[in-house]
Amino acid sequence: MAFLRAASEILAIYTMVYAIFSPAVLEAQSLSLAPAPAPSSDGTSIDQGIAYVLMLVALVLTYLIHPFDASSL
């Protein structure tokens, strides 16, 4: 008799858990996947960043080389 009572309690708990979570599972399965978003950069910002770095390097080199050039006069 105790076995039947334990089995019915387990069945009742399983039924409650299934009743709570089955709508969420069915809802999640019915959702379709959205398409991937478009890329946020087409490469121009990367090119512009590289250009800024190269200009900064050129500026630093100019000011490093300029004192040597002026001292030789």
- For 13-67, write each residue's pLDDT tens digit: 888 888 787 776 666 555 666 777 777 777 888 899 999 999 999 999 888 887 7
pLDDT of residue 64: 83
Q: Can you give the pLDDT at residue 48?
A: 92
3-class DSSP state for residue 36?
Answer: coil
Q: In Å, how far are 21, 39, 40, 68 from 36, measured between CA atoms? A: 29, 9, 12, 55
pLDDT at residue 73 tops 60: no
pLDDT, position 40:
74
* pLDDT value, residue 37: 78
